[in-house]
Amino acid sequence: MRQAVVVIHGIGEQRPMDTLRGFVEAMVPADTPEGTPTYWSKPDRLSRNFDLRVLKSRGRNTTDFYEYYWAHKMQGTKVGHLLSWLWDLFKRPRRDIPQAIVPIWRATRWTLLALVLLVASGTLATIYGRFNHDANPFALIPLLLAGVGIALKFSALSYLGDAARYLSSNPQNVVIREQIRADGVELLRGLHQQGYDRIIVVGHSLGSVIAYDIVGYLWYEHYDQLSNVTPANQALVERYANHEKLQPVVQDTLPKAGRSLDGRLQNTLKFREQQSEAFLEQRALGNPWRITDLVTIGSPMAHASLLLGRSVSDFKQRIARCEAPACPPTLDEKGYGYNAQSPVILGQKPFTPLYLHHAAAFAVTRWTNLYFPAPFGLFGDIVGGPVMPVMGAGVLDLPVSVGKWKGFLAKSWLSHTHYWSERGGKRGYLDGLTLDDSAIVNGERPSATEALRWAVDLRGGRRFRPVGAREALAESEA
């Protein structure tokens, strides 16, 4: 069993491999009790960046960890890029602002309004001689504005500048956005060509938006590829002759599980099971898609209607028009897909394949989202949040915690960079698919690192083997 994990870093002055090494040390113990390393490093042949390496785990199930590094493409960001983006967000009406960040949005508006009034009143008072120039209390305002400008240039620009350029479709940002997406798709395409049985994509912060984009773009190359559905496939001919359904999951059970989604965790887990079955069904019919999981961490996708759309209604329309892949996918003619134009003759009977549509990546790819809750938009990770209310009830949102500094870290803005900082935790809490409503709603939140291990699920790759390989493995173990 070969599986690959792709880690996509977030905003800031990131260095190659820093994010990946920290992530792998959280997923895989650094050394065995005997002192033998549990993973090693080898050159990354899929990247043109010589600083990048592949971290390869030891053991029965081989896992290769890749980093998609994009920070170097964001050079040259100017204050104008940031201010243009912030102004676009600032002028949005209240109805288009996600509830989680309303306090920050209001505070920013009132602060800016007070600053404008202060500058205007001070200017007018000076002009009309109310204050002497040598004893003017408003004379410090230029210094205050200069301080704000310095903070924007050397602090906010290093972090928010990345978001401003990637999330804004202004003409000056188009080239960078396309380079980042194209290279990300190229990496995922290369991993498919390497013959991995399973691929997991993990995105942190802005990297989660990039992950969402490239998964959706790559799916467009795979959604209608069912290469095993041919008259020469005797196994399919025999099954069809015996009146067996060739696509029972994507035709029946998956859409049924999608219709049952109502925000309850039990139904979400059932839908995820059907997503895994749909993945295996598509693979058996010859679809080359190998991405089983998207894991987003501290993701601004929680505010997708603000960041990726012009308004809440505009973003909903994009989902309805299949421009933005949702989870569960937007309904089409036949559940999440449509019938092929031409049938295939299997034996003596025609069979019309069902294709999942071009925005139905999350029919076969599970989406797990981890976040530190931020009550009132102040006490926690204000960048991330629950994604399910925006992107669909099929997303599994997991609120997490961290025990550092007696739990205060989880309630601060610093929590955004501590999703895999702890190596301990309650391992039994997330072993297997044992989560229930009471454990999430009423119980203690899981450790962020342990929740991440559960979401990536390195030990669960065996269920995604081809059917024949899984049966042979079961016989050998018996």
Predicted confidence (pLDDT) per residue in 370-399, tens digit: 999 988 767 888 889 999 999 999 999 999
pLDDT level of residue 441 (50, 70, 90 thresholds) = very low
For residue 69, give every residue at least 6 positions away whose Cβ sits within 8 Å of its Cβ, in sequence order, or none.
9, 14, 16, 17, 47, 49, 51, 52
Count of residues in the chain = 478
Tell me the backbone φ, ψ of residue 462, rounded to 5 degrees: -65, -25
Look at residue 97 and tell me if it is in a domain.
Answer: no
- Tens of pLDDT, residue by residue over 259-282, are 999 988 889 999 999 999 999 999
Between CA 250 and CA 281 the distance in angstroms is: 8
Q: What is the pTM of this model?
A: 0.85
Question: Which tokens hold the place of 100?
Answer: 């989680």
* Rg of the chain (C-alpha set): 25
Picking from 14, 64, 15, 19, the residue whose alpha carbon sits closest to that of residue 39 is: 64
Q: What average pLDDT score do residues 232-252 get?
A: 93
Question: Which tokens hold the place of 401?
Answer: 């915690």
Task: Look at the block and give the residue holding tokens 């010859």.
Answer: 286
Q: Per the structure, how many domains does the chain have?
A: 1
pLDDT level of residue 200 (50, 70, 90 thresholds) = very high
Look at residue 130 and tell me if it is in a domain.
Answer: no
Give the pLDDT score at 312.
84
Give the pLDDT score at 405.
59
Amino acid at 180: I
Look at residue 470 and tell me if it is in a domain.
Answer: yes
pLDDT level of residue 126 (50, 70, 90 thresholds) = low
Look at residue 96 and tell me if it is in a domain.
Answer: no
The segment with the largest mean pLDDT, out of 96-100, 176-180, 372-376, is 176-180
The segment with the largest mean pLDDT, out of 56-60, 253-257, 310-314, 423-427, is 253-257
pLDDT level of residue 92 (50, 70, 90 thresholds) = confident
For residue 440, give every residue at least 6 positions away whose Cβ sits within 8 Å of its Cβ, in sequence order, or none.
265, 398, 399
Look at residue 167 and tell me if it is in a domain.
Answer: no
Between CA 340 and CA 193 the distance in angstroms is: 26
Picking from 180, 178, 156, the residue whose alpha carbon sits closest to that of residue 77 is: 156
- Show the domain range for 389: 2-73+173-477
Helix axis angle, 448-456 to 18-27, nearest 10°: 90
Look at residue 10 and tell me if it is in a domain.
Answer: yes
Look at residue 101 and tell me if it is in a domain.
Answer: no
- Tens of pLDDT, residue by residue over 20-65, are 999 998 888 666 555 567 788 999 999 888 999 999 987 666 899 9
pLDDT level of residue 297 (50, 70, 90 thresholds) = very high
Q: Average per-residue pLDDT in the chain?
A: 82
Look at residue 115 and tell me if it is in a domain.
Answer: no
Between CA 453 and CA 149 the distance in angstroms is: 41
Q: Which helix (H) or strand (E) holds 5?
A: strand 2-8
Tell me the backbone φ, ψ of residue 14, rounded to 5 degrees: -75, 145
Give the pLDDT score at 444.
61
Give the pLDDT score at 139.
53
